Structure 1
Amino acid sequence: MADLSPESVAAIAGLYELDDRGRHEAWLGRVRTDREVISLLAEAPIPLEQGVIDVHGLVNRPARERWQSRPLAADGESSGPPRTAGQQAAAVQSGETSAVDLVEEALESAHRQRHLNAFIALFEERAREEADAVDRRVWGGEEVGPLAGVTVAVKDLIDVEGYATTGGTRVLDLAPAREDAACVARLRRAGAVILGMANLHGLAYGALSFNPDFGRVLNPRREEALSGGSSGGSGAAVAAGITAGALGTDTGGSVRVPAACCGVVGLKPTFGRVSTAGVYPLGRTMDHVGPVTRTVADAALFLEVLSDEPFAASTTAWRDLDGVVVGVPRTYFFDHLSDEVRAAVEDCERAVVEAGGEVIEADIPSMRFAPAAQLFTIAADALDVHRQMLARKADLLPEDVRLRLEMGMFFLAADYVRAQRLRGMLQKDVDAALEKADVLLMPTTAVTAPDAGVREVRVGDVTWPTQLALSRLTMPFTATGHPALTLPWGSDDRGCPVGLQIVGRPMEEAAILGTGRVLERTRGAAG
C-alpha cells in the first residue's frame, strides 16, 4: 500500500486529478477500518509458482456428465393464482390467464407497495404493449418462449433499450441505451415482459441499498430492516410479489445478499456463463449477472434462458440427494455467526442426510485471506471504471461510494498483482474441496438483515461494519468465479429470513440447483 503521509496523499490525489482538500481524515479513517483486511494480503502464504487467476477460462471447463443427465423437477401445479415464473408462463401458454392480466396485477402491486422503493422507473405502457404482443402470439397459435408473459424487474445497472441507465445515482448521466443488454434481450426473446428498473445501492458499490437519490430500498419481510445490496430493488420486487423474477449483478454478493435478506432465491452463475454486455461495470474481473426468483426451479429456468446452452437435458428429475456429497467448510464461514444462522445451517445439514445425501467436512485453508483478494481487486477495478467521473463529480456521489472509489488510488500495482495470485490460490483450494464433495454448503450472510441505521454488528466476540457482516461470506466466490446459489431457510424472531449458500464447481450449476431444489421441497416450497 502507498505511503499515507500528508504529502504523499496530496501527490497521489493529484495524479488522479482529485481534490484532496478536507478528504485526508476520511481516507485515513477508511484505512483504519480496513486495516485488518489490508494486512491479510501480505500475510497470505502464496506459493512463488502461483500465477494470477484465469477467471475467463472457467466457462471452458466441462461439467461432469453426471450433472448433465440429472436435471430439476419443475415447480408443481398451483391451487391458486400462478405464483412462480414457471407457473405463470404455463398459464399464459395454456390460455388459463393472459400476459396482460399478469402485467396489470404486477403494476397494481408495484403502485400499492411504492413505499418499498423497489423501482426507479416503471415501464407501464411499454409493458402493456409487450404483454399484448405475447397474448396475440398465443391466440394465433404461435410458439411463445419459456418465460411467456412473466414479469421481470431489471437492476438499473443493466441497459434496457430507450432508457438512460442511472446506476442508482443521478451522477452517471448516460444517454438512453440504443439496445438491450444481452441478458435483457434473451429474456425478451423468451417472452418475458420488463416491468421496470429496480433500485440499487449507488453504482452497485455497497451491500445496504441505501440510496440518497432514489430512496432506501425497504425489506418486504420487515420494513425497518435492510434489504441487502447492491441489488436491493431486485430482491424486494420478488419478495414483495410484484414480479416473478428479477435481474441483478453480483461483484461481491450483490445478488445473493439481497436475496438472503429478503427471503428469496438468488443465483450467481459461473463467471462468464451469462454475458455482461450492456451492463455498466463495477469490477470487470468479478462482475456477474444472475437472477433473483421465488423458487430454485425458477432460477434454473432463468439461467437456461440467460446462458448459451441448456444444462438440463434429460427427463429424469431430482427427487432426492442419493449419492450427493455435501461438503461443509467449518473454518472462516462458521467462525462468527448469529445463533439463528448457525441453527439454520445445522438444520439444513440434517435435511441433507434425510434426503439421502452425505455431509462431510470440507477444508479450504486459504479462505481467511479472501477478503483481501476481494478488496484489492475491486478497489482498483472500480477506480478504473469511475476515474473520470470521480475527478469531475466526486462531490455529487454518495459519501460511502465516493470513499470506496477514492481508496483505490492508494493500492499499488504490486498489491493488485498479488491479489490476483491470491485469487488463483483461493480458486485452487475451492476446486480441491470440490474434488471430495459435489457441492459446498455454508451460510450466505453471518447475520440476518440488521435494521436500517445499524452501522456495526456484533457477532460473538467480534464487531464488524454492517457492510462486511453482510458480504463477508459471499465475496469469496466472486473472487474465484465459482457458481453459488442462496435459498431461504427459516427466519429470526424479527421475521428476517436466513439465507443458506450452495457452491459448486465451475459450469456445474445443475449440481447446486438440483441440491437446492431438493432442499427447498423438504421445506414445503412451491412445487
Structure 2
Amino acid sequence: MNIVVQEVQKGTGALKVMVKDSIDIQGMKTMSGSQALMDTPAAIANAEVVELILAADCQITAKTNLHELAFGITGINHSFGTALNPKYPDLIPGGSSSGSAAAIAAGLADFTLGTDTGGSIRMPAACCGVYGLKPTFDRVSRKGVHPTVSSLDCVGPFAMSVSMIETAMQIIDPSFHPLAELTQAPKLAWLDVRADTEVIECIQDYLDQADLPLTSVKSEWFDSAFEAGMQVINYENWQAYAALTETGLVGADVNARLLKAAQTTLQQVQQAEQIKAKFKAEIDALLTQFDALILPTLPQIPPKVSEAENTVAFLNLTGLVRPFNLSGHPAISIPLQTASGLPVGLQIVAKQNADEHVCAIAKYIVEAAQ
C-alpha cells in the first residue's frame, strides 16, 4: 500500500509503532521521501523520541512514507509511491505525514509518529479518518528530526482513539500526565472560519448529538497567520533543502515549490513574526474565556488523488490548521463522516501546554456524542 518505506524491527514490546521517515533511527537512512536523499549516510543515533519509544518497551516495526521532504499536503509521492488511503481509497491520504496516518487507518500499528509544520499531522488524520495530535510547539523533542532547524514543526502521534493518543504522548513526552475524565461540560467556542457547508453541517450535527452549546467567536488575525506561517515554512525549507534542487532528483512539484520559496525574504519572515505575536495574543485571550476553540480541520472534503497532482492548487486545504503552527497551540483532529460517507475532521485547540486538557476535552466530546 506504499505506506511503509523501510521495515525496522526495533524492540519487542506489546505496542507496535511506526515512525515517519523524517525521524532518525540508528543504522537506517532518513530519506524524507526523496530520491535526492537515497545516498545519505545512515543515522548514527536514534532521534530522542525513538529512544523514548524503545525505553517504553514498544516495538518499532517500520518507517512510514511521506510527501517528499515533508513539503506538501496531498501525500502524493512518485518516488516511493503514494500511500493508499485505506478508508477512502479514491481520496488523497493527506500530507505530509501520509504513511503514518494511513498505517493507523489500515490497522498496522497501535500508534504512529508524524510531524506537523503546517498541518501535516491533523490534515492526514482528517483525510484518513483517524485521530491526530499536534502538541504544543517544543513540548516533544525534535532532536534527530528533519529538517534540523524549524521554528514551527512538532512531532506528534496518530491513533484510533484519544486514549491511545494519550498513551503515545506519555511515551514521547515524559511531562505528559493524562487528566481524569471531565466531570462537567467544557466551555467551548466555535471559531468562525470559512469552510464548505457540508463540512460545517457535519460538525454541527455531531456537536448537537453531544448536546454541547457553542459560542461563536472570530479571529481578526487568522487569515494573516495562515500567510505568515507559509512565509516562515518557505524560508526555513529553502535554507534546509536548497542544495537538493541542484541534484535533479527532487520531484517536480516539490522542486518548483522550493525554487519559489527561495524568493522569500528575511524581511517577510520578520513581518511574519510580528503577525505571530498578534495572533498568539488573540488566541490566548480567547482561551482565557473558553476551555477550547472548535473549528473544522479541513475547509472541504479531501480531493481525489486523480485531481490533486498540483500541490499548489490545494494549499488552501491547510487554511484552518497552519495558523496554530504559527501560534504554537496544541490541536487535535477528531475523525467524523458525512451522511454520504466522506471524511471530515473536527479540530479542537486549547491553551499552550494544555495538551492533557485538549485530549480530555476530545474524549468528553467523543463520549458525549455516542
Q: TM-score range by the shorter chain?
A: over 0.9
Query: Quick check: 1:454–1:466 contact (8 Å CA) kept in 2?
Result: no
Instruction: State the SS of the aligned residue for 1:453.
Output: helix
Partners in 1 of 2:48 and 2:143 — Cα distance?
A: 6
Q: Give the 5 Å matches for 1:95-114.
A: none
412, 427, 434: which one pairs with 2:280?
A: 427
**CA distance 1:184–1:343, shift in 2 (3 Å):** same
The answer to whether the 8 Å contact 2:86/2:105 transfers is yes
- Residue identity matched to 2:16: T
Cα 1:492–1:235 shift into 2, 3 Å = farther
Amino acid at match of 2:348: I
Q: Tell me the TM-score normalised to structure 2 length.
A: 0.95
Alpha-carbon spacing, 1:179–1:510, altered in 2? closer, same or farther (3 Å): same
Counterparts of 1:215-226 in structure 2 under 5 Å? Answer: 215-226=81-92
1:85-118 C-alpha deviation (Å, 9 max, x unpaired): xxxxxxxxxxxxxxxxxxxxxxxxxxxxxxx211
Q: Distance in 2 between matches of 1:348 and 1:437?
A: 20
Work out whether 1:388 is the aligned partner of 2:243.
yes
Pick from 317, 321, 326 the counterpart of residue 181 of structure 2.
317
Stretch deviating more after TM superposition (401-410 or 506-515): 401-410
Q: Say whether 1:347 aligns with 2:205.
A: yes
What is the distance in 2 between the residues matched to 1:163 and 1:491? 41
Question: What is the 5 A alignment of 1:502-513?
Answer: 502-513=348-359
What's the TM-score once normalised by structure 1's chain length?
0.67
Please, which of 35, 44, 55 is the counterpart of residue 170 of structure 1? 35
Equivalent residue letter for 1:120: V
Deviation at 1:365, TM superposition (A): 1.2
Counterpart of 1:122 in structure 2: which amino acid?
E
Moved more, 398-407 or 237-246: 398-407
Tell me what 2:304 maps to: 451
1:326-364 Cα deviation digits (max 9, x unpaired) = 01111xx2x232x33111221233245x2xx54212232
Corresponding residue pairs, total: 369
Q: Which one of the candidate residues 260, 264, 276 is aligned to 1:411?
A: 264
Deviation at 1:323, TM superposition (A): 4.7
TM-superposed CA distance for 1:490, in Å, is 2.0
SS of residue paired to 1:175: coil
Whole-Å separation in 2 of the counterparts to 1:351 and 1:515: 15
CA contact (8 A) 1:373 1:423 kept: yes
**1:500 aligned residue (336, 342, 346):** 346
* Structure 1 residue 281: Cα displacement: 1.3
Contact 2:176–2:356, Cα closer than 8 Å, also in 1: no
CA distance in 2, matches of 1:491, 1:117: 27
Higher-Rg structure is 1
8 Å Cα contact 1:118/1:198 also seen in 2: yes
Segment of structure 1 superposing worse, 464-473 or 160-169: 464-473
Moved more, 396-405 or 256-265: 396-405
CA–CA distance in structure 2, aligned partners of residues 480 and 166 of structure 1: 29
Give aligned-pair identity as a percent. Answer: 30
**Alpha-carbon distance between aligned partners in 2 of 1:456 and 1:325, rounded to the nearest angstrom:** 41
Q: Does 1:214 align with 2:80?
A: yes
Pair 1:216–1:359, CA change in 2 (3 A): same
Out of 326, 339, 358, which is 2:188 matched to? 326
| Contact 1:154-1:247 at 8 Å conserved across structures | yes
Q: Indicate whether 1:369 and 2:224 are aligned.
A: yes
Q: Is it true that 1:122 corresponds to 2:27 in the alignment?
A: no
C-alpha distance after superposition, 1:50-69 (max 9, x if no partner): xxxxxxxxxxxxxxxxxxxx
One-letter identity of the residue aligned with 1:363: K
> Are 2:207 and 2:369, in contact at CA under 8 Å, matched by a contact in 1?
no
In structure 2, distance between residues paired with 1:503 and 1:467: 23
Q: Find the aligned partners of 1:523 and 1:221 in 2 and give their Cα distance.
A: 22
Q: Report the Cα offset of residue 174 of structure 1.
A: 2.0
Structure 1 residues 408 and 294: CA distance shift in structure 2, 3 A: same
Q: Deviations over 1:133-175 (max 9, x none)?
A: xxxxxxxxxxxxxxx4111110000011111111001212321
Off by >6 Å, runs of 4+ in structure 1: none
Letter in 1 for 2:302: A
Conserved 8 A contact 2:133-2:157: yes
* 1:80 paired residue number: none
Change in CA separation of 1:223 and 1:283 when aligned onto 2, cut-off 3 Å: farther
Partner of 1:468: 315
1:521 CA displacement: 2.1
SS in 2 for 1:166: coil
Q: Write the deviation string for residues 204-241 of structure 1: whole angstroms up to 9, x where unpaired.
A: 00011111110111110121210001000000000011
Checking the alignment, whether the CA contact within 8 Å between 1:209 and 1:232 is kept in structure 2 is yes
Partner of 1:515: 361
Q: Greater shift after overlay, 205-214 or 303-312?
A: 303-312
Of stretches 409-418 and 260-269 in structure 1, the one that deviates more from structure 2 is 409-418
Superposition deviation, residue 304 in structure 1 = 1.3
Three-state SS of the structure 1 residue aligned to 2:35 is: coil
Q: 1 CA distance for matches of 2:99 and 2:316?
A: 20
Contact 1:186 1:305 in 2 (8 A): yes
| Cα distance in 1 for residues equivalent to 2:217 and 2:365 | 20
1:80-95 equivalences in 2 (<5 Å): none
Deviation at 1:202, TM superposition (A): 0.1
Give distance in 2, aligned partners of 1:248 and 1:370. Answer: 23
Q: State how far apart, in whole Å, the 2-side matches of 1:449 and 1:336 are.
A: 12
Deviation, structure 1 residue 283: 6.0
CA distance in 2, matches of 1:152, 1:312: 20
Matched, 1:159 2:24: yes
